[in-house]
Amino acid sequence: MDKKPTKGEYIEIVLRSHKTVFSTKDIALLWGEKVGNAVRVRLSSYVKNGKLIRVRHGIYAKDNNYDRCELATRIYTPAYVSFETILTRAGINFQYYGNIFVASYVTREIEVDGQKISFVRMKDYVLSNTIGIEQQNNVAAAIKERAFLDRIYISKDYHFDHLDVLEWDKVFAILPIYCSKRMNKKVQEYFKHYEENKSDNETK
């Protein structure tokens, strides 16, 4: 049986964690306890004493330097960063978005600590499939090919600025998880457009 932490060890266990953002459930798990009044009282005490920051109800951070994307994936779980956040980072979209876009089980836009977060609802069978999702510094995030497909899954017609950076073998490997004939057709259209542009550029 694991040894129960002593009074001074509770906060140290949290601070030693590689995460920067925690839900109440995360912290209770670190302490080997169930979420209950004792956990909540202890957390309130740490917030009052400045040892932790309450970012949102049920969400805590070590300090103000927490990872905003990590926060975005802790509010509604399961969740992962995708859509324009990844597409812009990869150079597929050129427009800058201040929002963090997250795939989750709800559609909602909230603002936490000045950061807007856009949650986009995905079907359970898509959300639970981890192909094309990587852990990057404690943040679950789509690779660019999955973010591309996620956007097509949500939007019937969408303009992407630059498709040359996509690895199309990965696109077609991930595509079946959506179980969508419309998507299959649309992805083929994007691929055809990419091939035509590539051919035109090579003949110039």
- Could you tell me the CA-to-CA distances from 97 to 4, 28, 89, 133 in Å, in that order? 45, 35, 10, 21
Q: Give residue 1's pLDDT band: very low, low, confident or very high (50, 70, 90).
A: very low
Range 3-30 average pLDDT: 89
What letter would DSSP give residue 154?
Answer: H
Please tell me the distance from the alpha carbon of residue 95 to that of residue 93, in angstroms, as a whole number.
6
Range 22-44 average pLDDT: 94
* pLDDT(188) > 80: yes
Question: 154: burial class by Cβ within 10 Å (0-12, 13-18, 19+)?
Answer: middle
- Residue-wise pLDDT for 110-135, tens only, equals 999 999 999 999 999 999 999 999 99
Backbone angles phi, psi at 13, to 5 degrees: -60, -40
- Residue-wise pLDDT for 131-151, tens only, equals 999 998 899 999 999 999 999
Q: Give residue 169's pLDDT band: very low, low, confident or very high (50, 70, 90).
A: very high
Range 9-28 average pLDDT: 94
Q: What is the secondary structure of 68-90 as a DSSP string?
A: HHHHHHHHSSS-EE-HHHHHHHH
Given this model, what pLDDT does residue 63 score? 95
- Residue-wise pLDDT for 45-77, tens only, equals 999 999 999 999 999 999 999 999 999 999 999
* pLDDT(3) > 70: no
β-sheet with 108-112: strand ranges across: 108-112, 115-121, 100-104, 80-81, 139-142, 133-136
Domain edges within the chain: 9-61, 68-203
pTM of the model: 0.91
3-state secondary structure 6-46: CCCHHHHHHHHCCCCEEEHHHHHHHHCCCCCHHHHHHHHHH
Range 69-88 average pLDDT: 96
CB 72 within 8 A of CB 79: yes
Given this model, what pLDDT does residue 24 score? 96
- Residue 23 pairs in a beta bridge with 59
